[in-house]
Chain A
Amino acid sequence: MTILADPMRPEWYRVQRSRKDTADTFTLDLEPEPGVATPPFAAGQFNMLYVFGVGEVPISISGDPTQPQTLVHTTRAVGVVTQAIRALKRGATIGVRGPFGSHWPVEACMGKDVVLVAGGIGLAPLRPVIYQLLAQREQYGNIVLLYGTRTPADILYPRQLAQWRARFDLDVDITVDRASDTWRGNVGVVTKLILKAAFDPMDTVAMICGPEVMMRFTIMELLKRGLRAEDIFVSMERNMKCAIGFCGHCQFGPSFICKEGPVLRYDQIKHWFGIREV
Protein backbone atom coordinates (compact mmCIF):
# COMPACT_ATOMS: atom_id res chain seq x y z
CA MET A 1 0.00 0.00 0.00
CA THR A 2 1.19 3.51 -0.83
CA ILE A 3 1.97 5.76 2.14
CA LEU A 4 1.21 9.36 1.26
CA ALA A 5 3.26 12.12 2.91
CA ASP A 6 0.23 14.30 3.51
CA PRO A 7 -2.96 12.55 2.41
CA MET A 8 -5.01 15.75 2.72
CA ARG A 9 -2.84 17.75 0.31
CA PRO A 10 -3.69 17.47 -3.38
CA GLU A 11 -0.99 17.12 -6.00
CA TRP A 12 -1.38 19.02 -9.25
CA TYR A 13 -2.14 17.22 -12.45
CA ARG A 14 -2.97 18.38 -15.96
CA VAL A 15 -5.73 17.07 -18.17
CA GLN A 16 -4.05 15.18 -20.96
CA ARG A 17 -7.24 14.04 -22.62
CA SER A 18 -10.98 14.05 -21.89
CA ARG A 19 -13.32 11.95 -23.97
CA LYS A 20 -17.03 11.26 -23.91
CA ASP A 21 -17.87 7.60 -23.43
CA THR A 22 -21.67 7.70 -23.33
CA ALA A 23 -24.29 10.45 -23.07
CA ASP A 24 -23.43 11.12 -19.41
CA THR A 25 -20.10 9.35 -18.90
CA PHE A 26 -16.60 10.52 -19.69
CA THR A 27 -12.99 9.42 -19.21
CA LEU A 28 -10.21 11.71 -18.11
CA ASP A 29 -6.49 11.04 -18.60
CA LEU A 30 -4.30 13.02 -16.20
CA GLU A 31 -0.55 13.58 -16.18
CA PRO A 32 1.37 14.95 -13.21
CA GLU A 33 2.85 18.43 -13.20
CA PRO A 34 6.64 18.39 -13.55
CA GLY A 35 8.22 17.32 -10.29
CA VAL A 36 5.15 15.44 -9.10
CA ALA A 37 5.72 11.69 -8.76
CA THR A 38 2.67 9.56 -9.55
CA PRO A 39 2.29 6.97 -6.82
CA PRO A 40 1.51 3.41 -7.88
CA PHE A 41 -2.07 2.25 -7.42
CA ALA A 42 -3.78 -1.11 -7.12
CA ALA A 43 -6.88 -2.18 -9.04
CA GLY A 44 -9.97 -1.06 -7.14
CA GLN A 45 -8.49 2.00 -5.44
CA PHE A 46 -9.80 5.52 -5.89
CA ASN A 47 -8.54 9.10 -5.97
CA MET A 48 -10.09 12.32 -4.71
CA LEU A 49 -10.32 14.75 -7.63
CA TYR A 50 -10.48 18.42 -6.71
CA VAL A 51 -11.71 21.20 -8.99
CA PHE A 52 -10.65 24.60 -7.70
CA GLY A 53 -13.47 26.58 -6.21
CA VAL A 54 -15.99 23.84 -6.87
CA GLY A 55 -15.24 20.84 -4.71
CA GLU A 56 -13.82 17.35 -4.41
CA VAL A 57 -15.19 13.92 -5.34
CA PRO A 58 -13.98 10.33 -5.00
CA ILE A 59 -13.51 8.62 -8.38
CA SER A 60 -12.27 5.07 -8.97
CA ILE A 61 -9.14 4.63 -11.01
CA SER A 62 -9.98 2.89 -14.25
CA GLY A 63 -6.57 2.80 -15.94
CA ASP A 64 -3.86 0.20 -16.19
CA PRO A 65 -2.01 -0.40 -12.88
CA THR A 66 1.13 -1.35 -14.80
CA GLN A 67 1.18 2.14 -16.34
CA PRO A 68 0.51 4.43 -13.37
CA GLN A 69 2.19 7.47 -14.96
CA THR A 70 -1.12 8.33 -16.61
CA LEU A 71 -4.04 8.47 -14.22
CA VAL A 72 -7.28 7.40 -15.86
CA HIS A 73 -10.70 8.05 -14.34
CA THR A 74 -14.09 7.29 -15.82
CA THR A 75 -17.09 8.90 -14.21
CA ARG A 76 -20.59 10.09 -14.79
CA ALA A 77 -21.36 13.81 -14.88
CA VAL A 78 -24.23 13.95 -12.42
CA GLY A 79 -23.30 16.54 -9.81
CA VAL A 80 -21.74 19.99 -9.66
CA VAL A 81 -18.18 18.69 -9.26
CA THR A 82 -18.33 15.93 -11.89
CA GLN A 83 -19.91 18.37 -14.35
CA ALA A 84 -17.09 20.80 -13.64
CA ILE A 85 -14.57 18.02 -14.24
CA ARG A 86 -16.23 17.20 -17.55
CA ALA A 87 -15.92 20.84 -18.58
CA LEU A 88 -12.13 20.82 -18.06
CA LYS A 89 -10.19 21.22 -21.29
CA ARG A 90 -6.84 19.71 -22.25
CA GLY A 91 -4.09 21.35 -20.19
CA ALA A 92 -6.41 22.39 -17.35
CA THR A 93 -5.15 21.83 -13.80
CA ILE A 94 -6.88 19.56 -11.28
CA GLY A 95 -5.99 18.48 -7.76
CA VAL A 96 -5.53 14.80 -7.01
CA ARG A 97 -5.31 13.09 -3.64
CA GLY A 98 -4.70 9.39 -3.43
CA PRO A 99 -4.71 6.56 -4.19
CA PHE A 100 -6.92 5.46 -1.31
CA GLY A 101 -8.70 2.37 -0.12
CA SER A 102 -8.49 -1.37 -0.48
CA HIS A 103 -8.03 -3.22 -3.75
CA TRP A 104 -9.34 -6.22 -5.65
CA PRO A 105 -7.58 -9.50 -4.70
CA VAL A 106 -5.99 -10.00 -8.13
CA GLU A 107 -2.83 -11.69 -6.81
CA ALA A 108 -4.85 -14.07 -4.67
CA CYS A 109 -6.76 -15.27 -7.75
CA MET A 110 -3.69 -16.93 -9.30
CA GLY A 111 -4.49 -20.49 -10.31
CA LYS A 112 -8.22 -19.89 -10.00
CA ASP A 113 -11.09 -18.98 -12.29
CA VAL A 114 -12.12 -15.33 -12.06
CA VAL A 115 -15.61 -13.98 -12.59
CA LEU A 116 -16.10 -10.23 -12.92
CA VAL A 117 -19.65 -8.95 -12.79
CA ALA A 118 -20.14 -5.29 -13.65
CA GLY A 119 -23.27 -3.19 -13.76
CA GLY A 120 -23.43 0.16 -15.58
CA ILE A 121 -20.50 2.40 -14.74
CA GLY A 122 -19.31 -0.34 -12.35
CA LEU A 123 -17.21 -1.60 -15.24
CA ALA A 124 -14.77 1.28 -14.70
CA PRO A 125 -13.36 0.14 -11.30
CA LEU A 126 -13.06 -3.42 -12.67
CA ARG A 127 -11.13 -2.45 -15.80
CA PRO A 128 -7.78 -2.30 -13.95
CA VAL A 129 -8.40 -5.90 -12.86
CA ILE A 130 -8.85 -6.97 -16.48
CA TYR A 131 -5.60 -5.22 -17.48
CA GLN A 132 -3.78 -6.95 -14.67
CA LEU A 133 -5.25 -10.40 -15.34
CA LEU A 134 -4.48 -10.17 -19.05
CA ALA A 135 -0.92 -9.02 -18.36
CA GLN A 136 -0.32 -12.39 -16.70
CA ARG A 137 -3.00 -14.40 -18.46
CA GLU A 138 -1.26 -17.75 -18.02
CA GLN A 139 -1.45 -17.43 -14.23
CA TYR A 140 -5.24 -17.70 -14.13
CA GLY A 141 -7.93 -20.21 -15.07
CA ASN A 142 -11.07 -19.15 -16.93
CA ILE A 143 -11.69 -15.42 -16.87
CA VAL A 144 -15.29 -14.36 -17.31
CA LEU A 145 -16.58 -10.81 -17.63
CA LEU A 146 -20.34 -10.37 -17.32
CA TYR A 147 -21.57 -6.86 -17.98
CA GLY A 148 -25.07 -5.44 -17.70
CA THR A 149 -26.12 -1.94 -18.56
CA ARG A 150 -29.15 0.09 -19.49
CA THR A 151 -29.21 0.19 -23.31
CA PRO A 152 -26.69 -0.54 -26.10
CA ALA A 153 -25.87 3.21 -26.19
CA ASP A 154 -24.84 3.05 -22.51
CA ILE A 155 -22.20 0.36 -23.00
CA LEU A 156 -18.94 1.62 -21.57
CA TYR A 157 -15.65 1.05 -23.44
CA PRO A 158 -17.37 -0.63 -26.43
CA ARG A 159 -14.18 -0.88 -28.52
CA GLN A 160 -12.25 -2.45 -25.69
CA LEU A 161 -15.08 -4.87 -24.97
CA ALA A 162 -15.07 -5.88 -28.63
CA GLN A 163 -11.31 -6.51 -28.45
CA TRP A 164 -11.69 -8.56 -25.30
CA ARG A 165 -14.55 -10.54 -26.83
CA ALA A 166 -12.36 -11.37 -29.80
CA ARG A 167 -9.79 -13.05 -27.55
CA PHE A 168 -9.95 -16.81 -27.11
CA ASP A 169 -8.88 -16.65 -23.49
CA LEU A 170 -11.52 -14.32 -22.08
CA ASP A 171 -15.30 -14.90 -21.95
CA VAL A 172 -17.22 -11.66 -22.28
CA ASP A 173 -21.00 -11.62 -22.10
CA ILE A 174 -23.05 -8.44 -22.23
CA THR A 175 -26.70 -7.76 -21.58
CA VAL A 176 -28.83 -4.63 -21.61
CA ASP A 177 -32.11 -3.82 -19.89
CA ARG A 178 -33.81 -2.82 -23.12
CA ALA A 179 -32.96 -2.34 -26.76
CA SER A 180 -34.35 -1.60 -30.19
CA ASP A 181 -34.69 -4.45 -32.67
CA THR A 182 -31.34 -3.61 -34.26
CA TRP A 183 -29.54 -4.99 -31.17
CA ARG A 184 -28.64 -8.65 -31.71
CA GLY A 185 -27.27 -9.29 -28.22
CA ASN A 186 -28.80 -10.24 -24.87
CA VAL A 187 -31.62 -8.32 -23.23
CA GLY A 188 -32.26 -9.06 -19.57
CA VAL A 189 -30.67 -8.74 -16.17
CA VAL A 190 -26.96 -9.44 -15.67
CA THR A 191 -27.69 -12.15 -13.10
CA LYS A 192 -29.14 -14.29 -15.90
CA LEU A 193 -25.68 -14.53 -17.46
CA ILE A 194 -24.24 -16.21 -14.36
CA LEU A 195 -26.08 -19.47 -14.94
CA LYS A 196 -24.29 -20.13 -18.22
CA ALA A 197 -20.89 -18.69 -17.37
CA ALA A 198 -18.00 -21.16 -17.56
CA PHE A 199 -16.26 -21.37 -14.18
CA ASP A 200 -15.65 -23.91 -11.46
CA PRO A 201 -17.59 -22.67 -8.41
CA MET A 202 -15.24 -24.56 -6.09
CA ASP A 203 -12.20 -22.71 -7.37
CA THR A 204 -13.37 -19.26 -8.41
CA VAL A 205 -13.07 -15.73 -7.12
CA ALA A 206 -15.86 -13.33 -8.05
CA MET A 207 -15.56 -9.53 -8.08
CA ILE A 208 -18.71 -7.44 -8.38
CA CYS A 209 -19.15 -3.75 -8.97
CA GLY A 210 -22.40 -1.96 -9.68
CA PRO A 211 -25.51 -0.61 -7.97
CA GLU A 212 -26.04 -2.23 -4.57
CA VAL A 213 -29.30 -3.94 -5.57
CA MET A 214 -27.60 -5.48 -8.59
CA MET A 215 -24.75 -6.69 -6.37
CA ARG A 216 -27.21 -8.26 -3.90
CA PHE A 217 -28.93 -10.28 -6.62
CA THR A 218 -25.61 -11.17 -8.23
CA ILE A 219 -24.34 -12.53 -4.91
CA MET A 220 -27.51 -14.63 -4.57
CA GLU A 221 -26.93 -16.17 -8.02
CA LEU A 222 -23.25 -16.81 -7.36
CA LEU A 223 -24.06 -18.52 -4.05
CA LYS A 224 -26.69 -20.58 -5.88
CA ARG A 225 -23.99 -21.67 -8.35
CA GLY A 226 -21.95 -22.90 -5.39
CA LEU A 227 -19.46 -20.09 -4.78
CA ARG A 228 -18.42 -19.55 -1.17
CA ALA A 229 -19.14 -16.22 0.47
CA GLU A 230 -15.43 -15.76 1.19
CA ASP A 231 -14.66 -15.95 -2.54
CA ILE A 232 -16.96 -13.05 -3.39
CA PHE A 233 -15.72 -9.44 -3.33
CA VAL A 234 -17.77 -6.30 -3.81
CA SER A 235 -16.93 -2.65 -4.30
CA MET A 236 -19.09 -0.57 -2.00
CA GLU A 237 -20.10 3.01 -2.53
CA ARG A 238 -20.82 5.50 0.22
CA ASN A 239 -20.45 9.23 0.67
CA MET A 240 -16.67 9.54 0.90
CA LYS A 241 -15.31 12.93 1.93
CA CYS A 242 -11.92 12.81 3.67
CA ALA A 243 -10.80 9.46 2.19
CA ILE A 244 -8.67 8.62 5.24
CA GLY A 245 -11.26 7.34 7.72
CA PHE A 246 -11.44 10.61 9.63
CA CYS A 247 -14.77 12.25 8.97
CA GLY A 248 -17.05 9.22 9.25
CA HIS A 249 -19.26 10.11 6.29
CA CYS A 250 -18.72 6.75 4.64
CA GLN A 251 -19.24 4.55 7.67
CA PHE A 252 -20.68 1.13 6.84
CA GLY A 253 -21.23 -0.84 10.04
CA PRO A 254 -17.82 -1.03 11.73
CA SER A 255 -15.94 -0.09 8.55
CA PHE A 256 -15.13 3.10 6.74
CA ILE A 257 -15.60 2.50 3.04
CA CYS A 258 -12.77 4.93 2.20
CA LYS A 259 -10.29 3.06 4.39
CA GLU A 260 -11.28 -0.60 4.81
CA GLY A 261 -13.12 -0.47 1.47
CA PRO A 262 -14.21 0.19 -1.17
CA VAL A 263 -13.38 -3.44 -1.99
CA LEU A 264 -14.69 -5.72 0.72
CA ARG A 265 -15.01 -9.49 1.11
CA TYR A 266 -18.64 -10.47 1.16
CA ASP A 267 -18.50 -12.90 4.12
CA GLN A 268 -17.00 -10.13 6.26
CA ILE A 269 -19.78 -7.65 5.53
CA LYS A 270 -22.81 -9.80 4.79
CA HIS A 271 -24.31 -9.03 8.19
CA TRP A 272 -24.20 -5.30 7.40
CA PHE A 273 -25.20 -5.84 3.80
CA GLY A 274 -28.62 -6.96 4.93
CA ILE A 275 -29.28 -4.06 7.31
CA ARG A 276 -31.27 -1.34 5.60
CA GLU A 277 -30.34 1.41 8.02
CA VAL A 278 -26.59 1.03 7.40
Chain B
Amino acid sequence: METLEPILAQHPFFQDIEPVYLQLMVGCATNVRFTAGDDIFREGDVADQFYLIRHGRVALQIFVPGQGRITIETIEAGEVLGWSWLFPPYRWHFDAQALELTRAIAFDGACLRAKCDEDHDLGYMLMQRFAQVMTQRLQATRLQLLDLYGVRT
Protein backbone atom coordinates (compact mmCIF):
# COMPACT_ATOMS: atom_id res chain seq x y z
CA MET B 1 0.00 0.00 0.00
CA GLU B 2 1.23 3.49 -0.86
CA THR B 3 1.92 5.67 2.18
CA LEU B 4 2.31 9.42 2.63
CA GLU B 5 6.02 9.02 3.37
CA PRO B 6 7.32 10.20 -0.04
CA ILE B 7 5.03 13.27 0.09
CA LEU B 8 6.19 14.11 3.61
CA ALA B 9 9.84 13.74 2.63
CA GLN B 10 9.37 16.33 -0.13
CA HIS B 11 7.84 18.98 2.10
CA PRO B 12 10.32 21.75 3.09
CA PHE B 13 9.37 21.38 6.76
CA PHE B 14 10.84 17.86 6.71
CA GLN B 15 13.86 18.72 4.56
CA ASP B 16 16.81 16.36 5.25
CA ILE B 17 14.86 14.42 7.85
CA GLU B 18 16.06 10.92 8.73
CA PRO B 19 13.76 8.29 7.18
CA VAL B 20 13.33 6.59 10.56
CA TYR B 21 11.47 9.66 11.88
CA LEU B 22 9.18 9.77 8.85
CA GLN B 23 8.31 6.13 9.43
CA LEU B 24 7.44 6.97 13.02
CA MET B 25 5.25 9.94 12.10
CA VAL B 26 3.48 8.73 9.00
CA GLY B 27 1.00 6.74 11.07
CA CYS B 28 -0.29 10.03 12.53
CA ALA B 29 -0.73 11.69 9.11
CA THR B 30 -3.72 11.96 6.79
CA ASN B 31 -4.27 13.70 3.48
CA VAL B 32 -6.79 16.57 3.69
CA ARG B 33 -8.33 19.07 1.28
CA PHE B 34 -10.14 22.35 1.87
CA THR B 35 -12.06 24.49 -0.57
CA ALA B 36 -11.97 28.31 -0.59
CA GLY B 37 -13.76 29.71 2.44
CA ASP B 38 -13.52 26.53 4.54
CA ASP B 39 -12.62 27.07 8.17
CA ILE B 40 -9.68 24.82 9.01
CA PHE B 41 -9.89 25.71 12.69
CA ARG B 42 -11.35 28.44 14.85
CA GLU B 43 -10.07 30.34 17.87
CA GLY B 44 -10.83 28.50 21.11
CA ASP B 45 -11.39 25.09 19.50
CA VAL B 46 -9.32 22.12 20.58
CA ALA B 47 -5.95 22.18 18.80
CA ASP B 48 -5.54 18.52 17.98
CA GLN B 49 -3.78 18.78 14.61
CA PHE B 50 -1.18 20.58 12.59
CA TYR B 51 -0.91 20.88 8.83
CA LEU B 52 1.80 20.80 6.23
CA ILE B 53 0.44 22.91 3.39
CA ARG B 54 1.13 21.28 0.01
CA HIS B 55 -0.92 23.53 -2.23
CA GLY B 56 -3.00 26.68 -1.82
CA ARG B 57 -3.13 29.48 0.71
CA VAL B 58 -4.52 29.78 4.23
CA ALA B 59 -5.32 32.99 6.12
CA LEU B 60 -4.58 33.15 9.82
CA GLN B 61 -7.19 35.48 11.23
CA ILE B 62 -8.41 37.08 14.40
CA PHE B 63 -11.97 38.24 14.90
CA VAL B 64 -12.25 41.89 15.94
CA PRO B 65 -15.73 43.02 17.04
CA GLY B 66 -16.98 45.68 14.67
CA GLN B 67 -14.32 44.88 12.07
CA GLY B 68 -14.85 41.21 11.40
CA ARG B 69 -12.00 38.85 10.63
CA ILE B 70 -8.63 40.51 10.22
CA THR B 71 -5.96 38.51 8.42
CA ILE B 72 -2.66 38.73 10.23
CA GLU B 73 -0.70 36.30 8.12
CA THR B 74 -1.08 33.99 5.16
CA ILE B 75 0.47 30.55 5.00
CA GLU B 76 1.26 28.95 1.69
CA ALA B 77 2.45 25.75 0.08
CA GLY B 78 5.68 24.59 1.69
CA GLU B 79 4.81 26.05 5.08
CA VAL B 80 3.43 24.63 8.31
CA LEU B 81 0.16 25.66 9.94
CA GLY B 82 -0.47 25.36 13.68
CA TRP B 83 1.62 24.78 16.77
CA SER B 84 -0.99 25.04 19.52
CA TRP B 85 -1.23 21.22 19.48
CA LEU B 86 2.23 21.18 21.10
CA PHE B 87 1.42 23.01 24.32
CA PRO B 88 -1.37 22.85 26.90
CA PRO B 89 -4.18 23.84 26.92
CA TYR B 90 -4.14 22.69 23.25
CA ARG B 91 -6.50 25.39 22.02
CA TRP B 92 -6.25 27.44 18.85
CA HIS B 93 -5.44 31.12 19.36
CA PHE B 94 -6.55 32.21 15.88
CA ASP B 95 -8.90 31.23 13.07
CA ALA B 96 -7.52 29.57 9.95
CA GLN B 97 -9.47 29.84 6.72
CA ALA B 98 -8.60 28.43 3.29
CA LEU B 99 -8.41 31.30 0.79
CA GLU B 100 -8.33 28.95 -2.16
CA LEU B 101 -8.31 25.23 -2.82
CA THR B 102 -5.81 23.97 -0.26
CA ARG B 103 -4.25 20.54 -0.02
CA ALA B 104 -2.41 19.57 3.14
CA ILE B 105 -1.17 16.73 5.28
CA ALA B 106 -2.83 16.80 8.70
CA PHE B 107 -1.04 15.32 11.70
CA ASP B 108 -2.91 14.04 14.73
CA GLY B 109 -1.41 16.03 17.61
CA ALA B 110 -2.21 13.54 20.39
CA CYS B 111 -0.75 10.68 18.33
CA LEU B 112 2.41 12.66 17.66
CA ARG B 113 2.79 13.83 21.27
CA ALA B 114 2.58 10.21 22.45
CA LYS B 115 5.31 9.23 19.98
CA CYS B 116 7.48 12.15 21.09
CA ASP B 117 7.07 11.08 24.73
CA GLU B 118 8.24 7.59 23.79
CA ASP B 119 11.10 8.77 21.58
CA HIS B 120 12.73 11.98 22.78
CA ASP B 121 15.00 12.16 19.74
CA LEU B 122 11.90 12.45 17.59
CA GLY B 123 10.51 15.05 20.00
CA TYR B 124 13.75 17.06 19.89
CA MET B 125 13.84 16.96 16.08
CA LEU B 126 10.25 18.17 15.86
CA MET B 127 10.79 20.87 18.48
CA GLN B 128 13.85 22.15 16.61
CA ARG B 129 11.85 22.48 13.41
CA PHE B 130 8.88 24.12 15.08
CA ALA B 131 11.14 26.46 17.04
CA GLN B 132 12.64 27.66 13.76
CA VAL B 133 9.19 28.35 12.31
CA MET B 134 8.13 30.14 15.50
CA THR B 135 11.26 32.29 15.47
CA GLN B 136 10.71 33.32 11.85
CA ARG B 137 7.08 34.20 12.53
CA LEU B 138 7.99 36.10 15.70
CA GLN B 139 10.58 38.16 13.80
CA ALA B 140 8.10 38.86 11.01
CA THR B 141 5.44 39.87 13.53
CA ARG B 142 7.87 42.31 15.19
CA LEU B 143 8.50 43.96 11.84
CA GLN B 144 4.77 44.18 11.17
CA LEU B 145 4.30 45.78 14.59
CA LEU B 146 6.71 48.54 13.61
CA ASP B 147 4.18 49.68 11.00
CA LEU B 148 7.14 50.57 8.77
CA TYR B 149 5.09 51.87 5.88
CA GLY B 150 3.01 54.22 8.00
CA VAL B 151 3.67 57.93 8.32
CA ARG B 152 6.55 58.70 10.68
CA THR B 153 5.46 60.93 13.53
Contact = CB atoms under 8 A, between A and B. Distances in A.
Contacts, number: 74
Contacts of A214: 143, 148-149
A149 B74 CA distance: 15
Nearest to B75: A188
Interface in B104-153: 140, 143-144, 146-152
B8 interface: no
A188 B73 contact: yes
Given A120-B148, A187-B59, A187-B73, A181 B143 contact: no
B74 A188 contact: yes
A29 interface: no
A175, A179, A181, A213 interface centre (most CB from chain B within 10 Å): A181
A154 interface: yes
Contacts of B59: 181, 187
Give chain A's interface residue range (CB within 8 Å of chain B). Answer: 20 to 34
A132 interface: no
Contacts of B144: 177-178, 188-189
B68 interface: yes
B71 interface: yes
Interface of B: 57, 59-61, 67-74, 76, 78, 97, 99-100, 140, 143-144, 146-152
Which 3 A-B pairs rank lowest in CB-CB distance, beginning with the nearest?
A120-B149, A181-B69, A211-B148
